[in-house]
Amino acid sequence: MLGIERLSAWYGEAQVLRDVSLTVGEGEVVTLVGRNGAGKSTLLRCVMGLHAGQRGAVRLLGADVARMPPHRRARLGIGWVPDDRGAYATLSVAENLTLPPSVGPRPWSLEQVYDAFPALRARRGFAASKLSGGEQQMLALARVLRMGARLLLCDEPTEGLSPLLVAGVGEILRRAKEHGVTVLLVEQNLHFATTVADRHYLLAEGRVAQALDNSEVRQRERELLAYLGI
Q: pLDDT by residue (tens digit) across 98-123?
A: 888 887 677 888 888 888 888 899 99
Sheet holding 29-33, edge to edge: 78-81, 151-155, 182-186, 29-33, 199-204, 207-213
Task: Find, among 194, 187, 182, the residue nearest to 137 by Cα.
Answer: 187
Report yes or no on 131 lying in a domain.
no
Q: Give pLDDT, residue 136.
A: 86
Report yes or no on 111 lying in a domain.
no
Please measure the distance between the N-terminal and C-terminal CA atoms of the chain and give it in whole angstroms.
31
Report yes or no on 112 lying in a domain.
no
Q: Give pLDDT, residue 156.
A: 86
pLDDT category of residue 230 using cuts at 50, 70 and 90 = low
Provide the residue range defining the domain that includes 13: 2-84+147-228
Give the pLDDT confidence of 158-175 residue by residue, as tens digits: 887 778 878 888 888 888
Report yes or no on 95 lying in a domain.
no
pTM for the complete prediction? 0.87
CA-to-CA distance for 162 and 229, rounded, in angstroms? 20
Question: What share of the chain in percent tops pLDDT 70?
Answer: 98
Give the pLDDT confidence of 57-85 residue by residue, as tens digits: 999 999 999 889 998 998 888 988 887 77
Report yes or no on 178 lying in a domain.
yes
Q: Count of domains in the chain?
A: 1
Report yes or no on 117 lying in a domain.
no
CATH of the domain at 172: 3.40.50.300
Do residues 141 and 154 make contact, with C-beta atoms less than 8 angstroms apart? yes
Report yes or no on 66 lying in a domain.
yes
CA-to-CA distance for 174 and 193, rounded, in angstroms? 12
Q: What is each CA distance from 217 to 102, 185, 192, in whole angstroms?
A: 37, 16, 11
Report yes or no on 101 lying in a domain.
no
Which of 12-21, 105-114, 127-136, 149-158 is the most confident on average?
12-21
pLDDT category of residue 229 using cuts at 50, 70 and 90 = low
Question: What share of the chain in percent tops pLDDT 90?
Answer: 41
